[in-house]
Amino acid sequence: MNHFLSMVIFAMIVSACFALLMKSTDPERWRYFLRLLFYFIGLGFIAAWVMNFFPFR
């Protein structure tokens, strides 16, 4: 399993839990789930892009 797949699985699980806990109706839950999933994956890409500029070796 690569890092991207791990990030997507983690984002899906956390987004589903947050959506179930925070919203009361199904349409709200789906919208919130998809929005959080997009945010998690998008911020992961942005963080990876920013870390690309730092020399870690």
pLDDT score at 56 = 77
pLDDT score recorded for residue 1: 77
Task: Quote the pLDDT of residue 55.
Answer: 83
**Per-residue model confidence (pLDDT) at position 45:** 93
d(CA 40, CA 37): 5
Compute CA distances 44 → 13, 18, 21, 37, 39, whole Å.
15, 18, 23, 11, 8
Q: What is the pLDDT of residue 34?
A: 97
Q: pTM score, two decimals?
A: 0.84
Residue type, 2: N
Q: List pLDDT tens digits, range 6-56.
A: 999 999 999 999 999 999 999 999 999 999 999 999 999 999 999 988 887
